[in-house]
């Protein structure tokens, strides 16, 4: 694995969490 692999996965996970949170908050209004 590349040294930056962990950072990339963390960024993807954070982005996915933001998208999910936005979808949930939008669907529940």
| Cα(26)–Cα(4) distance, integer angstroms | 33
For 8, list phi and psi in degrees, rounded to 5. Answer: -65, -45
Q: Given this model, what pLDDT does residue 1 score?
A: 53
Written as tens digits, the pLDDT of the chain (29 aa) is 566 788 899 999 999 999 999 999 999 98
**Per-residue pLDDT at 3:** 62
CA torsion sign for 8, 11, 17, 21 is negative
Q: What is the pTM of this model?
A: 0.61
Query: Pseudo-torsion of CA 14, 19, 24, 27, nearest 10°?
Result: 170
pLDDT of residue 6: 84
Output the pLDDT for position 11. 94
């Amino acid at each position: 694995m590349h040294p930056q692999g962990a950072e990339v996965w963390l960024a993807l996970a954070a982005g996915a969490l933001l998208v999910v949170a936005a979808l949930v908050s939008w669907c529940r209004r």
